[in-house]
Amino acid sequence: MELIDKTAAAILSDFVNPAVYLLSALAFVWFLYGVGKFLWARYKADESGVKKGKQHMLWGLIGLIIVFSASAIYEFITGFFN
């Protein structure tokens, strides 16, 4: 009976909010993995490892930007229709 009383936006937010948290956490962990790889490769003087670490950091940041942009667009749309 509780499901019937919810609006479409509330039902959608039950799925979107956990997905945003999960994806932002994954992107942040990927960024931190890149930082670790970058620092370790610099310590070992491994140029290919430094390059891979930079790429991981870049893709982690891109992932965070995409997740937060999608979240902002979702909040704007749900705020507009409520």
Q: pLDDT at position 4, please?
A: 63
Q: Cα(55)–Cα(48) distance, rounded to whole angstroms?
A: 11
Q: Considering only CA atoms, which of 4, 12, 6, 3 is closest in space to residue 77?
A: 12
| In the chain, where the domains are located | 24-77
Residue 21's pLDDT band, with cuts at 50, 70 and 90, is very high
Q: Cα(26)–Cα(22) distance, rounded to whole angstroms?
A: 6
pLDDT in tens, 28-72: 999 999 999 999 988 888 888 899 999 999 999 999 999 999 999
Residue 71 · residue 49 · CB < 8 Å? no
Cα angle: 38, vertex 41, 47; to 5 degrees: 100
pTM of the model: 0.76
Q: pLDDT at position 1, please?
A: 47
Q: pLDDT at position 3, please?
A: 56
